[in-house]
Structure 1
Amino acid sequence: MARQLADVLAANIHQYISAAGMAPGTRLPERALAEQFRVSRSPVREALRRLATQSVVIAHPEGGYAVAEGGPAVPANGHEPDAAQGDDSEAVYFRIAEERLNGELPDRFTENEMMRRYGITRAQLGAILRRMTQEGWVERLPGHGWMFLPVLTSAETYKQGYRYRLLIEAAGILEPTFELDREALLRCRAEQEALANGGVHTATAAALFDANSRLHETIAACSGNAFILEGLRRLDRLRRLMEYRKAVDRDQAERRCREHLTLIDMLLAGQQEAAADFMRLHLRNAVREKSDS
């Protein structure tokens, strides 16, 4: 399990470096990465070791790691390929998501069943299942087999999810316990700026969802209210597959990224009331646009 976590984390760190447009030599503090991905420092350390063997990062003279010069580009889907995993695995991943939403897959399944259904190897399926587990829509059953976890499956529940976000996200910014995490927001800002400056036109639906939900969850974490953060995290897990199904309008996606930059800048400037108002406007715009797609 520790090895699987390090594999997934290495892919996520690689994607994070690419999306943020980090220059060669940029330090990669273990503590900051652990906070970014909400894990302990031990798997971060192991993930960085693996990235070093791939020449994505290099050892820094003062300790730790830094972005390597001319490291290999991260794939557009935001995940490192296994030796046996390529474009076919990405296509299978989205096919599983679509068929699950369509009610074509049972709640429980075995690896052999999935390998036969999709014509993939055990190594390819293993990488896909690790990704789905990390994203929170499948889990391994004790002993044998796997189970899909509940997700939003209808247009009405999708809209309800956005109405719930309207209730909690703006309120979180106005919580008396709100405390700005400048470093985390600046990391999100770099990621959103990279998307707004062209990255949005090549990123997959999964990569866009990850970047945008990471920002909204970072802001929720600043609220200091554990219920607001946990509520948003659970909703993000539930709505992931519905977001994949939505047609990606690249112009709208770029506009939302630029709205994210405006929102971040308001928070960094200490304009909490204005940021709360802007959050409501941003979410209303998003649900209107996506309801039409």
Structure 2
Amino acid sequence: MPGPGAPSLIEQLAAAIADHIRRSTLSAGERLPERQLAEKFRVSRTPVREALRLLADRNVVGRQTGRGYVVAERSRSADEGTPGVVASEPSLPEEESAYLRIAEDRFAEQLPERITERELIRRYGLSRAALQRVLQRMLHEGWLERLAGYGWAFTPILTSAQSYQQGYRLRIIIEPAAILEPTFMVDEATLRHCRDVQRDLVGGAIATVSPAQLFDANSALHEAIVGFSGNAFMLDALQRLNRVRRLIEYRKSVDRQAAAARCREHLELIDLLLAGDLEAAADFLRLHLRTAARLKAQS
């Protein structure tokens, strides 16, 4: 149970849903189905409904007759100063530092698979409220799970160069094939939003975004493309892989020049998709992933 001063379950869930909206490619006016949110955050629909009501009171989501809750217009403050790059709630320096330290310790296997909030507070010197925000961020990103009884459990992650390369090989199989699925259909609004994000990165934001923001922006594009396939199994496989590879990506040295080059390739890929040249897009994506895998192996 949350301790004194800690956010309630509804407040925590509301924060997680708001973060999901900011990080996603959802457009203003897009529906937020209770069932899908309940499945994503592994809760029943009742707390989801309460969390959405709370977010509506805060103008994060809107209510529409007959449609339930929808994404509200994004405010400029939600972008944390970087146009087009969707970020989470601005973190205090101590929270960002603790988040990265926990990620590093988890990757280095210096933390047990199961841990309590009391242990985390003692180890990282956070207040309970600050720890709750860090935990919700990790929960949303998929590398931490709440235990049914007491405490938290870390989910499996990639820890070796071999498993990291195996992950890329799986992506090389899945992602180009998704474009060639007979049910593939581009959502232009989503893809154009991704293009805006990539343009902002190429235009200068690449120099200042954090590794987490860069990972989120790029993985959102790749997941969106696979999602266009209409093949839920392909999308689930990629989302699971992205969750387990997140921490190893944080440890990779960020070559900003190489990252900008990959973003420019993303723009070329987006243009091919918008033009409807799917075979060329699939070939381009396959080459893009092979090049990225080779460069990442050297970093």
TM-score bracket, normalised by the shorter chain, equals: 0.7 to 0.9
Q: Does 1:174 align with 2:180?
A: yes
Give the Cα–Cα distance (whole angstroms) in 1 for the partners of residues 290 and 205 of structure 2: 24
Is 2:296 aligned against 1:290? yes
CA contact (8 A) 1:16 1:191 kept: no
Return 5+ residue gaps in structure 1 as ranges: 21-26
1:45 to partner: Cα distance = 6.8
What secondary structure is seen at the aligned counterpart in 2 of 1:139?
Answer: strand
> What code does the residue aligned with 1:258 have?
R
Cα gap change, 1:148 to 1:58, in 2 (>3 Å):
closer
Asked whether the equivalents of residues 10 and 51 of structure 1 are also in contact (C-alpha less than 8 Å), the reply is no
- The answer to whether the aligner puts 1:117 opposite 2:123 as a matched pair is yes
TM-score (normalizing by structure 2): 0.81
Aligned residue for 1:206, secondary structure, equals helix
Aligned mate of 2:148, from 142, 150, 155: 142
Q: 2:12 aligns with which of 4, 20, 23?
A: 4
Report the CA distance shift for 1:67/1:117 in structure 2 as closer, same or farther (over 3 A). closer
Q: Structure 2 residue aligned with 1:87, among 73, 85, 93?
A: 93
Alignment gaps of 5+ in structure 2: 1-8, 39-47, 64-69
Q: Quick check: 2:78–2:89 contact (8 Å CA) kept in 1?
A: no
Aligned partners of 2:252 and 2:263: how far apart in 1? 17
- For 1:78, the aligned partner's letter is A
Residue 6 (structure 1) shift? 2.1
Which amino acid letter does the alignment assign opposite residue 28 of structure 2? L
Contact 1:15 1:74 in 2 (8 A): no
Looking at structure 1, the residues matched to 260 and 56 of structure 2 have their Cα atoms a distance apart, in angstroms, of 31
> Is residue 171 of structure 2 the alignment partner of residue 165 of structure 1?
yes
Other-structure match for 2:6:
none
For 1:95 and 1:261, the matched residues in 2 are separated by 33
Q: Check conservation: 1:30, 1:45, Cα contact below 8 A.
A: no
Q: CA deviation at 1:253?
A: 1.0
Q: Which runs of 4+ in 1 moved over 2 A?
A: 8-17, 38-52, 63-68, 70-73, 75-79
User: Does the alignment pair 1:183 with 2:169?
Assistant: no
Per the alignment, residue 280 of structure 2 pairs with 274
Q: Using a 3 Å threshold, how does the CA distance of structure 1 residues 164 and 65 change in structure 2: closer, same or farther? A: closer
Select which of 80, 84, 87 maps to 1:78. 87
Q: Residue deviations 1:103-149, cap 9 Å, x none?
A: 11101100000100111111111001000001111111112111111
- 1:78, distance to aligned residue in structure 2 (A): 2.5
Supply the distance in 2 between the matched residues of 1:177 and 1:64 (Cα, whole angstroms): 26
Q: 2:165 is aligned with what amino acid? A: K
Q: Alignment partner of 2:145: what SS?
A: strand
Q: Is the 8 A contact 1:30 1:44 kept in 2?
A: no
Q: What CA distance in whole angstroms lies between the structure 1 residues aligned with 2:148 and 2:287?
A: 44
Q: Percent of aligned positions with the same letter in both sequences?
A: 49
The Cα of 1:66 is off from its aligned counterpart by 3.5
1:141-290 equivalence runs, <5 A: 141-290=147-296
Q: TM-score, normalised to structure 1's length?
A: 0.83
Distance 1:190 1:244 in 2: 24
Measured after TM superposition, the shift of residue 223 of structure 1 is 1.1
Task: Determine if contact 1:185/1:218 at 8 Å carries over to the other structure.
Answer: yes
Higher deviation after alignment, 193-202 or 264-273: 193-202
Amino acid at match of 1:143: G
How far is the alpha carbon of 1:200 from its aligned partner? 1.2
CA distance in 1, matches of 2:71, 2:285: 37
Q: CA, structure 1 residues 71+92, in 2 after alignment: closer, same or farther (shift >3 Å)? A: closer
Q: State the SS of the aligned residue for 1:147.
A: strand
Partner of 1:29: 29
Change (3 A) 1:205 1:253: same
Given that 2:24 and 2:220 are in contact with CA atoms closer than 8 Å, whether structure 1 keeps it comes out as no
Q: Say if 2:78 and 2:87, in contact at 8 Å, map to a contact too.
A: no
C-alpha distance 147-15 of structure 1, shift in aligned 2 (>3 A): closer
Where 2:58 maps in the other structure, the secondary structure is helix
**Residue matched to 1:23:** none
Alpha-carbon distance in structure 2 between the residues aligned to 1:93 and 1:51: 28
CA–CA distance in 1 between the matches of 2:78 and 2:179?
Answer: 38
Counting matched residue pairs gives: 270
- Would the alpha carbon gap of residues 93 and 256 (structure 1) be closer, same or farther in structure 2, given more than 3 Å must change? same
Amino acid at match of 2:88: H
Once the two structures are superposed, residues 157-203 of structure 1 have per-residue CA deviations (whole angstroms, 9 ceiling, x without a partner) of 00000001001111111111211111211121111111111111111
1:187 match: secondary structure: helix
